[in-house]
Structure 1
Amino acid sequence: MTRSSTRARLDEALARIDDPKGEGARACLTVYRDAACAAAEAADARAKAGVTLGALDGAIVSIKDLFDVAGEVTRAGSKVLAEEGKPAASDAPVVRRLRQAGAVIVAKTNMTEFAFSGIGANPHFGTPGNPADRARIPGGSSSGGAVAAADGMCEISIGSDTGGSTRVPAALCGIVGYKPSRLRISRDGVYPLSQSMDSIGPMARNVADCRRADAAMAGEARAPLAAPSLTDLRVSVAQGIPVDNLDATVGKSYAQALARLTKAGARLRDKPLPLIEAMVEVNKRGGVQPAEAFTVNRDLLDRRGSDIDPNVRARLERARTIGAADYIWMANERDKLIRMMDEWLSDTDVLVMPTCPIVAPTLAEIAAPEDFARRNAMTLRNTSVWNFFDCCAISLPLPRNGLPVGLMLVARNGHDRKLFAIATAVEQVFA
């Protein structure tokens, strides 16, 4: 067995999960030790025989705690669901496709309860510490997955993204996080937050690993993607809200990133985004996403509200008074704005902005409810826009000036393959 074998890489991942000085106990809620070892040995046997199931064959993968796995209760980071939930009858289609593609599923990873926060804290199962500074938040809601990928507990982690839940933790932990066009990947067998905005995406230490996971989950043959020349791209730089009030670290890293892109041949042009202001006006009636999240979890709130994370509960309860007429109006207005944004971006190959306007705050800085709410809103500010407008987006780690900072690339709905190719080219600039 060589050190590059699947089994050897799995053993290294398991050792990191088991390390008592690491974050394994908080990042990985279920470890599939025996099944993963069997899958790794099968992958090595295929490799020895010259047989492959595809580009994901032998990859060490973790999955978020909201994906159904046959015979297991789907907890979605919740104590209540862990106690009351019924075992899933079958794997979620996403999990099934990962297995069919040869992925070695090593663990189920921790998350914000019900996936309803960009902070990544979980009072029931513990909050995994940020790899850059364990006293800081990991970002959420796919917190455990981002920490697991960054810390080498897996090579690829599969999360969900409803307002930024793959891109935010990726940005704050210094890795790559992808949000696909919403309908690209099946959400069946996934505990929902918002049926209008949920999407399923990967996190990894590079674009290529995210790309191969995305292709497997989408049931797409993984054709080679040639990175385009930056000089041939129409690169737009977001103006307005996405670049307002950046903290010092983000502001410095972002300015340096734009300078490096220019030096690499990219022709940048400023792009105002007035439709974001229109989105803000629509959301003043409470928001489509919160209304849908409340509907999903209303019974649990009514019966066992005291057993739900207080910060999550407060966000859900704020949506209790949203009426049917306001919800329908917001949904209809959103549909109009999605079409308008698609047209607005028709002269752009890729839109660039910071993933998060702030670096990861410390756990102490989000201890008070009002501080939690304020910093949660800031972490999600830029990412949630693109769930509302149903675009595809990716967060790339920038060269470090201290704590991790992410650069977000956005493309029109359905342009996922194109965005991966562009991200590959941009990644090379910062390598």
Structure 2
Amino acid sequence: MPQICFDTSTTAAQRVASATEDAASPAAQHVFTQFYADGARATAQNCDAETLAGRSLGTLHGVCITIKDNIDVAGETTMAGGVVCDGETPALHDAPAVQRLRDAGAVVLGKTNMSEFAFSGVGINPHHGTPANPADTLHARVPGGSSSGAAVSVALGLAEVGICTDTGGSIRIPAALCGLVGYKGTQVRIPRTGVMELSRSLDTVGSITRSVRGCLAVDAVMSQQPLPTDAAHLKGLRFAVPQTLMLDDVDATVAQAFSNSLKLIHEAGAQVVEIPFKALGDIAALSMPGGFSPIESYAAHHARLERGADRIDPRVVARMMLGKGISAQDYLELHNRRQAWIAEAQQTLQGFDAMLCPTVPMVAPLIEPLIKDDEAFFKVNRLLLRNPAAINYMDGCSWSLPCQEAGQLPVGLMVSGLAGHDAHLARVVLALENLMNSLLR
């Protein structure tokens, strides 16, 4: 039967009916690029029939999920939040991650809106509109990107899980800004087959839910490598708090929430150690010329750029074009510098149970000024991506947990570990979630 971390108080058919109705509401405008009302209803009815018969379809039996628009669903052209792909060959199969979710009994509600080609941390989309952040019902604030619709689908209660991707923070940024939990595991955990590339070196599949246990249940299905679900004891754990880069330009709300979080963690008996971690300040220089995302996205999408750049978000085109003309020598040297940097990061973080910092340095900004002003957009985009992207560069595993006080706009606490340390980090994050929940009451 479904994991206890998901809603079991109503039937799957009732949840689908509610989601179908709510998806048409003004609050859910621009969340979906496609909504599978008939398919979801049929799957839910089958789940409920199996429940009545005393049978389960799997660990996600009847759990409503959404799929980011850059992930293959059989029989459909994968659009990745754009229009330029229209007319391309439809996917022959579900992406393996999606098929595994279906096999575990999940109900797929639809595909969710996103920053086009996943190339922005803001979540603005000029083709399909931008879903408003549900954390503020009075002002239209950005949801975060690129997994904008995924986060909003969960925040509104339309779905229990948003399946999405993270190249430089695209799971953790919207999770942080919308007050949700997001998990980006070590890249190799979940197959990326059937996921439209942004950056082959950095793309990672993961999820956004309302709880750590929710993400762990979904990860166990998609990765087929279940992680521990018992919380660590915080007393005696050692947490690194880097003083380079990650705390720059932090707004007052985020600074206060982060300070409160560290205080709670210290009072729980853990060691909170400030470290320089000066190598974080070297990532921008090491990524020249271009960086992995521009170089690899240009390689993946150059044909689309050549035939229809005028049909692609110009802000996305500008970033992709930074990857044009980069030599193979420069590209390979980029990989060599990254590997050397990762080795240095491993040395720096040795002996720590996790690294802590704000997921992003600001609460969700207003949508309208960022639509109108390129300079403002790119400034906010850089700031939103800065902290989480460092963990992708490290090929680490990373979570975002809500850590704001009740009544405040959402703030994310990012908890990160080295590549392959997902199991230990899961136990740590379960303990931290229990602690952070005391702030939200």
Cα distance in 1, alignment partners of residues 240 and 35 from structure 2: 43
The partner residue of 2:349 within 345, 348, 358 is 345
Deviates more, 1:71-80 or 1:337-346: 337-346
Cα distance in 1, alignment partners of residues 243 and 16 from structure 2: 44
Alpha-carbon shift at residue 224 of structure 1 (Å): 5.4
Q: Classify the secondary structure of the residue corresponding to 2:23.
A: helix
Alpha-carbon shift at residue 28 of structure 1 (Å): 1.1
Amino acid at match of 2:75: G
Residues 29 and 149 (structure 1), Cα distance of their counterparts in 2 relative to 1, 3 Å cut? same
The partner residue of 2:296 within 288, 292, 309 is 292
Deviates more, 1:3-12 or 1:387-396: 3-12
2:154 aligns with: 149
2:78 aligned with 1:79, yes or no? no
2:134 aligned with 1:131, yes or no? yes
Residues 345 and 358 (structure 1), Cα distance of their counterparts in 2 relative to 1, 3 Å cut? same
Residues 49-64 of structure 1: pairs in structure 2 closer than 5 A: 49-64=53-68
Alpha-carbon shift at residue 349 of structure 1 (Å): 0.9
Alpha-carbon shift at residue 347 of structure 1 (Å): 0.9
Alpha-carbon shift at residue 3 of structure 1 (Å): 4.7
1:119 aligns with: 122
- 1:84-105 per-position Cα deviation (integer Å, ceiling 9, x unaligned): 3211111110110000111111
Cα distance in 2, alignment partners of residues 210 and 12 from structure 1: 23
1:193 aligns with: 198
1:46 aligns with: 50
1:215 aligns with: 220
Deviates more, 1:161-170 or 1:359-368: 359-368
Cα distance in 1, alignment partners of residues 50 and 421 from structure 2: 34
The partner residue of 2:17 within 7, 11, 19 is 11
2:70 aligns with: 66
Amino acid at match of 1:201: G
2:255 aligns with: 251
The partner residue of 2:321 within 303, 317, 320 is 317
Alpha-carbon shift at residue 171 of structure 1 (Å): 0.5
- 1:374-426 per-position Cα deviation (integer Å, ceiling 9, x unaligned): 11000000000011110000000113363211000001111212222211111
Q: Classify the secondary structure of the residue corresponding to 2:336.
A: helix
2:170 aligned with 1:158, yes or no? no
Cα pair 1:237 1:268 within 8 Å, conserved: yes
Cα pair 1:67 1:191 within 8 Å, conserved: yes
2:232 aligned with 1:228, yes or no? yes
Amino acid at match of 2:121: G
- 1:25-63 per-position Cα deviation (integer Å, ceiling 9, x unaligned): 410111111111121122222223332243322111001
Amino acid at match of 1:177: G
Cα pair 2:19 2:159 within 8 Å, conserved: yes
Residues 224 and 355 (structure 1), Cα distance of their counterparts in 2 relative to 1, 3 Å cut? closer
Alpha-carbon shift at residue 336 of structure 1 (Å): 1.9
Cα pair 2:216 2:229 within 8 Å, conserved: no
Q: Classify the secondary structure of the residue corresponding to 1:242.
A: coil
Cα-Cα RMSD: 1.5
Amino acid at match of 1:404: P
Alpha-carbon shift at residue 368 of structure 1 (Å): 0.9
Q: Percent identity?
A: 42
Alpha-carbon shift at residue 321 of structure 1 (Å): 3.9
1:179 aligns with: 184
Amino acid at match of 1:50: G
- 1:128-162 per-position Cα deviation (integer Å, ceiling 9, x unaligned): 00112351111100000001010111000000000
Amino acid at match of 2:122: I
Alpha-carbon shift at residue 73 of structure 1 (Å): 0.8
Cα pair 1:3 1:9 within 8 Å, conserved: no
Cα pair 2:216 2:227 within 8 Å, conserved: no
Cα pair 1:311 1:372 within 8 Å, conserved: no
1:394 aligns with: 399
| TM-score (norm: length of structure 1) | 0.95
Alpha-carbon shift at residue 280 of structure 1 (Å): 2.4
- 1:162-217 per-position Cα deviation (integer Å, ceiling 9, x unaligned): 00000001101110111110010000011010111100010011111111111100
Cα distance in 2, alignment partners of residues 428 and 45 from structure 1: 35
Cα distance in 2, alignment partners of residues 350 and 50 from structure 1: 42
The partner residue of 1:168 within 170, 173, 191 is 173
The partner residue of 1:357 within 357, 361, 372 is 361
Cα pair 2:227 2:423 within 8 Å, conserved: no
Cα distance in 1, alignment partners of residues 41 and 152 from structure 2: 22
Q: Classify the secondary structure of the residue corresponding to 2:191.
A: coil
Cα distance in 2, alignment partners of residues 233 and 93 from structure 1: 36
- 1:288-321 per-position Cα deviation (integer Å, ceiling 9, x unaligned): 2211011111111122111110111111112224
Alpha-carbon shift at residue 18 of structure 1 (Å): 2.1
The partner residue of 1:410 within 412, 416, 430 is 416
- 4+ residue runs over 3 A deviation: none
Residues 3 and 288 (structure 1), Cα distance of their counterparts in 2 relative to 1, 3 Å cut? closer
Cα pair 1:26 1:144 within 8 Å, conserved: yes
Cα pair 2:72 2:95 within 8 Å, conserved: yes
Cα distance in 2, alignment partners of residues 139 and 3 from structure 1: 30
2:373 aligns with: 368
Q: Which runs of 5+ in 2 are unaligned?
A: 1-7
Deviates more, 1:260-269 or 1:120-129: 260-269
The partner residue of 2:40 within 18, 36, 41 is 36
Amino acid at match of 2:154: A
Q: Which runs of 5+ in 1 are unaligned?
A: none
The partner residue of 2:94 within 77, 91, 96 is 91
Paired residue total: 426
2:299 aligned with 1:301, yes or no? no
Cα distance in 2, alignment partners of residues 5 and 232 from structure 1: 43
